[in-house]
């Protein structure tokens, strides 16, 4: 239990290193939580600060999702031996989950973070890189047909456990549990997007749409 608790805590603390706020501090104290949608994520960073700022944010947020599940499960910490009774698979998934939660509710930044999309992508790359392909395909398809980043993110997250069910579990029940929980969490963090979609005032990236109406 000591190994589990400590590694989950470390994963959460790593996830709490919010890319947008780190880059903002390095760029002169910019806090994008006071701009645009008020969210400390890559989409708001892109809209308010531009592509180079957003690129650095996304790289940090993806990286902190990759490292905990990839490195911690097999890493022997000083004074904390590997627990032979602890499943490495469940520990990996717990570390991935903690990093995503840390991104959304960062202890370093007053528990006001992003919506978890980039860090979830990183966690997926650390756990099951092959699943990133169907997720990205769904995300791109929804984005180019609707222009809504939030909708694309939610549908991509929901598509992953469905894809796993269709492609065959083959003993991957823990992964299915993780992906289902992740999808529910991503939908929860995007609840404001859902309200704006229902109200018809959600922000849309017109340039990303392949089927957008062109001016006459």
Q: Is the pLDDT of residue 106 over 80?
A: yes
Please report the pLDDT score of residue 212 as a whole number: 60
Tell me the pLDDT band of 211, cut-offs 50, 70 and 90. low
Work out the average pLDDT over 73-93. 91
Please report the pLDDT score of residue 69 as a whole number: 95
Same domain assignment for residues 75 and 28: yes
Q: State the Cα–Cα distance between residues 37 and 203, nearest whole angstrom.
A: 9
Work out the average pLDDT over 145-150. 91
Q: Is the sign of the CA dihedral 139, 140, 144, 145 positive or negative?
A: negative
Decide: pTM greater than 0.85. yes
Q: Which of 74-78, 140-144, 150-154, 176-180 has the lowest mean pLDDT?
A: 74-78
Please report the pLDDT score of residue 39 as a whole number: 76
Q: Is the pLDDT of residue 166 over 80?
A: yes
Same domain assignment for residues 45 and 144: no
Please calculate the CA angle 187-51-188 and round it to the nearest 5 degrees: 10
Same domain assignment for residues 138 and 40: no
| Helix orientation angle between 149-167 and 132-146, rounded to the nearest 10 degrees | 140
Same domain assignment for residues 121 and 134: no
Residues with Cβ within 8 Å of 3's Cβ and at least 6 positions away in sequence, in order, are 77, 80, 81, 82, 83, 86, 91
Q: Is the pLDDT of residue 118 over 80?
A: yes
Q: Is the pLDDT of residue 213 over 60?
A: no
Tell me the pLDDT band of 144, cut-offs 50, 70 and 90. very high
Work out the average pLDDT over 169-175. 84
Same domain assignment for residues 115 and 143: no
Work out the average pLDDT over 82-95. 93
- Choose the final residue of a domain: 66, 99, 125: 125
Tell me the pLDDT band of 89, cut-offs 50, 70 and 90. very high
Work out the average pLDDT over 118-146. 92
- Choose the final residue of a domain: 125, 140, 163: 125
Residues of the domain holding 38 = 1-125
For residue 169, report the phi and psi dihedrals to the nearest 5 degrees: -75, -45
Q: Is the pLDDT of residue 19 over 60?
A: yes
Same domain assignment for residues 116 and 46: yes
For residue 80, report the phi and psi dihedrals to the nearest 5 degrees: -130, 90
Q: Considering its fold, how many domains does the chain have in total?
A: 2
Q: Is the pLDDT of residue 63 over 60?
A: yes
Pick 117 or 209 by higher pLDDT. Answer: 117
């Amino acid at each position: 239990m000591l190994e589990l608790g400590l590694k989950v805590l470390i994963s959460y603390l790593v996830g709490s290193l919010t890319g947008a706020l780190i880059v903002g501090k390095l760029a002169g104290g910019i806090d994008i939580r006071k701009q645009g949608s008020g969210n400390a994520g890559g989409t708001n960073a892109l809209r308010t600060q531009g592509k180079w700022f957003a690129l650095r944010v996304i790289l940090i947020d993806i990286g902190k999702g990759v490292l905990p599940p990839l490195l911690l499960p097999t890493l022997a910490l000083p004074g904390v031996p590997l627990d032979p009774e602890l499943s490495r698979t469940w520990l990996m998934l717990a570390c991935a989950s903690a990093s995503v939660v840390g991104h959304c509710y960062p202890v370093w930044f007053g528990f006001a973070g992003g919506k978890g999309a980039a860090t979830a992508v990183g966690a997926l790359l650390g756990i099951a890189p092959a699943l990133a392909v169907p997720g990205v395909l769904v995300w791109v398809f929804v984005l180019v047909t609707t222009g809504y980043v939030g909708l694309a993110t939610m549908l991509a997250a929901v598509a992953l456990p469905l894809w796993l069910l269709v492609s065959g579990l083959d003993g991957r029940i823990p992964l299915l549990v993780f992906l289902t929980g992740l999808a529910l969490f991503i939908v929860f963090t995007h609840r404001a997007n859902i309200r704006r979609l229902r109200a018809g005032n959600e922000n849309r990236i017109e340039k990303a749409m392949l089927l957008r109406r062109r001016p006459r």
